[in-house]
Amino acid sequence: MSTKHSVTVTVNGKRYTREVAGNRTLLRFLREDLGLTGTKEGCGAGECGACTVILNGKAVNSCLVLAPEVDGATIETVEGEARNGKLSKLQEAFHRNHGVQCGFCTPGMLMSVKALLREHPKPTVDQIKEAIEGNFCRCTGYQQIIESVLDATGQLKPKKEELRRV
């Protein structure tokens, strides 16, 4: 039996301390030890990005990080977006532009985009594509996701009326 590690983290501004085994991934730590099930497991191998969270300011695949590695860290997850039942500006833009289809990739997409927007408040389409390169949307709704980000940053060009009403 491997020894337990005491892990203290700040997730979405709230401090948590838990005892975990060395082989606990950050993803399972968030979902099962902290009950924050917004972050999803897709491939579990760093390919799909469904489990993306922001760790000390950087987007990472939480399936490829061990919980004991993040002792003392600051983590942001999708649960930190909406406040008092009100969607964040970014979530509203995803909602408005149909950036969500089945929704499984959305928590990870939001975190990758959030990390991008901190560095590039008005990202180009290429910068958006690069930032979400590691986030797979199997509904293939990439175009709407890119438009959502452009909208959230005030860069979406208005479309023809009939298209907007669909």
| Count of all residues that appear for the chain in the document | 166
In the DSSP assignment, the letter for residue 66 is B
Which uninterrupted H or E stretch holds 114?
Answer: helix 106-119
Complex with other proteins: residue 23 or 124, whichever CB lies closer? 23
Does residue 42 belong to the site contacting other proteins (CB under 8 A)? no
Does residue 3 belong to the site contacting other proteins (CB under 8 A)? yes
Does residue 63 belong to the site contacting other proteins (CB under 8 A)? yes
d(CA 21, CA 13): 24
Q: Where does this chain touch other proteins (CB under 8 A) — which range of 15-23, 34-42, 83-91, 94-102?
A: 15-23
Phi-psi region of 47 (alpha: psi -120 to 50; beta: other; left: phi over 0): alpha
Residue type, 2: S
* Number of amino acids touching other proteins (CB under 8 A): 30
Site string for other proteins, 69-108 (x = CB under 8 A): x---------------------------------------
d(CA 86, CA 70): 29
Q: What does the binding site for other proteins look like in residue numbers (CB under 8 A)?
A: 1-3, 5, 21-23, 25, 44-46, 49, 52, 58-61, 63-66, 68-69, 112, 115, 130-131, 133-135
